[in-house]
Amino acid sequence: MTISGMTPTAKLLQQLVRIPSVNPEGNPGVANPGEQACAEFIAKFLRQAGANVQLQPVFKNRPNVIGVFKPKGKINTRLLLAPHTDTVSVLGMSIDPFAAKVKGGKLYGRGASDTKGPMAAMLQAVKEFFVSDTFKNSGLEITFVGLMGEEAGNYGAHAWAKKCPAYDLAIIGEPTDFKIVHAHKGCAWLKFSTKGRAVHASTPANGRNAINAMLPVLAYVETILSKKISSFTHRQLGASTIVATVIHGGSKTNIIPDHCEIEVDLRFTPNLTVNKVLGFIRQDLKQAGLDATVSVISSSSALHTDANHQLIKKILPHSKGLTTAPWFCDAAIFGLRGIPSVALGPGSIKQAHTADEFIKLADLEKGKDGYLQILRALAVR
Ligand SMILES: [Zn+2]
C-alpha cells in the first residue's frame, strides 16, 4: 500500500476509468465514444513496461492495442491476455461514470468491473512479472491485447483472431470472481419470413394470407424443431433451446397481410452449430411443404475448452475453480480458431453494466496477485 492507500493497480484502474471508452453502437450516452484514447493510454503503459507495441486499426478511431513481452529464452509457450477496452453505455447511471471515486473500499465508475478492473490487474501483473528473473529465463511469451468492440459484434477479437499466432492459451479478462469460465452456450437470433398477396379484406379468397402461412411454421418451431434442438446437451450447460420471441405481420385491419415474420432466440451447446440448425430447418420446411424462408440476424459461437487441458490444470490451483457462464465473451472467438480459451478475472459480473458499477479494491488486488501466480506457473516448465 502506498501512503494514499491506493496500490499501483488501483491507481491504474482509476486512470483507465477516467478515460471514457464507451462502445459507440446504440446510444453511448457520451459525446466522444470509442476506444482510441484508452488504446493509446494502454500502448504507452505497455511500452514503458517493456513490450513491443502496435495498434491494429479495426474501425476509424477504434483500434486494438497489442503489446508483446518476449523472454530471453527460446519460446515454448505463447500466452494471450486479452480484456476489452470498450464499455457499455453510461445512460441511466446513478453515479459519475468517469470520476473513479473510491469509497468504502470500492472503486466506482463505468468499466470498473467490466472490464477495466480485470484489465488493470492484468497490466500490473505483467509489468511486475516482466522484470523478474523467472520471466527473463523462461520460454513464456506474453501478448497483451486490449480488444475494441466486445460489447457489440466482437469486432476486435475477430480482427485479431484472424491474424494472431496460434497461442497455447488465451485468458480473456472478464469479471468472473476469479473463476475460470471454460464453457458457455452460443446464441443466435433467426428470422422466419412468409410472403402473401395483399388484397381487400372483403375478398380474402383473392389474396394470400402471410399470417396464416406463418401459423404452421410457428407450430413447427415450438414442437418438432424445439425437440430436435433440445437433444443437443452439455454436461454443465444443459440442453440447447429455441423459442419464438417476436412476431410481426400485416399492415391494416382491412388488408390481407402480404408479409409475416417471427424472430427466434437459439441458445446452443458446443456440440451444435447455427449451420446445423439451418440445415434442419431448411430440410424440414421443404419436407412439410411450408413456403417460408429463414435467415440469421446475429450469431455468436459457443465456448468449450477442455477442463483437462494441461495448461488449464496448471493455472487452476491459482484460481477460484472452474465454472461455466450464461453470458458470451471474446473467449469464444479465439476458441473458434482452435486456441484453448477461457475467461478469468477479478470482480463480479453482478456489478457489470449496472447503474453504480464498482469493483472491490481488495478483489482487484487479489486478482493482480492471482494473475501473477498464473504467469509464474506458466513460466515454469
Ligand atoms: Zn466484458
C-alpha cell at 157: 477479437
pLDDT at residue 296, rounded to an integer: 97
- Rounded to the nearest angstrom, the distance between the alpha carbon of 184 and the centre of ligand 1 is 14
pLDDT digits (tens, 9 = 90+) for 147-200: 999 988 899 999 999 999 999 999 999 999 999 999 999 999 999 999 999 999
Average pLDDT on 347-371 reads 96
* 199 alpha carbon – ligand 1 mean position (Å): 50
As a whole number, the mean pLDDT across the chain is 96
For the segment 23-39, the average pLDDT, to the nearest whole number, is 95
63-93 pLDDT per residue, tens: 999 999 999 989 999 999 999 999 999 999 9
Instruction: Tell me whether strands 322-325 and 180-184 are parallel, antiparallel or unpaired.
Output: parallel
Over residues 260-267, the mean pLDDT reads 97
User: Which among 140, 121, 49 is positioned nearest to 83, based on CA atoms?
Assistant: 121
CB atoms within 10 A of CB 229: 22
Q: What local confidence, expressed as pLDDT, does residue 3 receive?
A: 44
The distance of Cα 48 from the centroid of its chain, to the nearest Å, equals: 28
The answer to whether the predicted template modeling score (pTM) of the entire model surpasses 0.85 is yes
- What pLDDT was estimated at residue 257? 98
**86 C-alpha vs ligand 1 centroid, how far in Å?**
8
Q: 331 C-alpha vs ligand 1 centroid, how far in Å?
A: 11
Hunting for cell 410481426 — which residue is that?
248
**Residue 98 Cα to ligand 1 middle (Å):** 17
How close is the Cα of 28 to the center of ligand 1, in Å?
16
Residue 116 Cα to ligand 1 midpoint, Å, equals 9
359 CA to middle of ligand 1, Å? 13
Residue 93 main-chain phi, psi, to 5 deg = -75, 145
- Report CA(20)–ligand 1 centroid distance (Å): 15
Q: What is the pLDDT of residue 5?
A: 74
Q: What is the pLDDT of residues 209-233, one digit of tens each?
A: 999 999 999 999 999 999 999 999 9
pLDDT digits (tens, 9 = 90+) for 41-67: 999 999 999 999 999 999 999 999 999
**111 CA → ligand 1 middle, Å:** 8
Check if CATH label 3.30.70.360 holds for domain 186-300: yes
Distance 196 CA to ligand 1 centre (A): 43
Cα 84 to ligand 1 centroid, rounded to whole Å? 7
Give the model's pLDDT for residue 327.
86
Q: What is the mean pLDDT of residues 236-257?
A: 96
> Ligand 1: distance of its center to the CA of 240 in Å?
23
Give pLDDT, residue 165.
96
SS (H, E, C) the chain: CCCCCCCHHHHHHHHHHCCCCECCCCCCCCCCCCCHHHHHHHHHHHHHHCCEEEEEEEECCEEEEEEEECCCCCCCEEEEEEEECCECCCCCCCCCCCCCCEECCEEECCCCCCCHHHHHHHHHHHHHHHCCHHHHCCCEEEEEEEECCCCCCCHHHHHHHHHCCCCCEEEEECCCCCCEEEEECEEEEEEEEEECECCECCCHHHCECHHHHHHHHHHHHHHHHHHHHHCCEECCCEECEEEEEEEEECCCCCECCCEEEEEEEEEECCCCCHHHHHHHHHHHHHHHCCCCEEEEEEEECCEECCCCCHHHHHHHHHCCCEEEECCCCCHHHHHHCCCCEEECCCCCHHHCCCCCCEEEHHHHHHHHHHHHHHHHHHHCC
pLDDT at 190: 97
Pairing of the two strands 169-173 and 77-83? parallel
CA of 349 to the centre of ligand 1 (A): 8
Whether pLDDT at 1 is above 60: no
pLDDT digits (tens, 9 = 90+) for 96-132: 999 999 999 999 999 999 999 999 999 999 999 999 9
Q: How far apart are CA 312 and CA 378, in angstroms?
A: 10
* pLDDT higher than 60, residue 2: no
Q: What is the pLDDT of residue 4?
A: 60
Distance 242 CA to ligand 1 centre (A): 25
Q: How far is the CA of 115 from the centre of ligand 1 (A)?
A: 5
CA of 134 to the centre of ligand 1 (A): 31
Q: How far is the CA of 227 from the centre of ligand 1 (A)?
A: 32
* pLDDT score at 328: 87
Residue ranges of the chain that CATH labels 3.40.630.10:
8-182+302-379
Ion ligand 1 — residues with CB under 5 Å? 114-115, 174
- What's the CA-to-centroid distance between 249 and ligand 1, angstroms? 36
Where does CATH 3.30.70.360 sit in the chain? 186-300
Asked if residue 263 has pLDDT above 50, the reply is yes
Distance 113 CA to ligand 1 centre (A): 8
Distance CA 359, CA 238 (A): 30
| Ligand 1 geometric centre to CA of 114 (Å) | 5
Distance in Å, CA 347 to ligand 1 centroid: 11
Q: How many Å lie between the centroid of ligand 1 and the Cα of residue 191? A: 27
Give the right CATH number for 8-182+302-379 from 3.40.630.10, 1.10.287.610, 3.40.190.10, 3.40.50.300. 3.40.630.10
Compute, in angstroms, the gap from residue 214 CA to the centroid of ligand 1: 38
**How far, in Å, from the CA of 358 to the mean position of ligand 1?**
13
Q: Cα(76) to centroid of ligand 1, in Å?
A: 30
Rounded to the nearest angstrom, the distance between the alpha carbon of 329 and the centre of ligand 1 is 7
- The percent of residues above 90 in pLDDT, for the chain, comes to 94
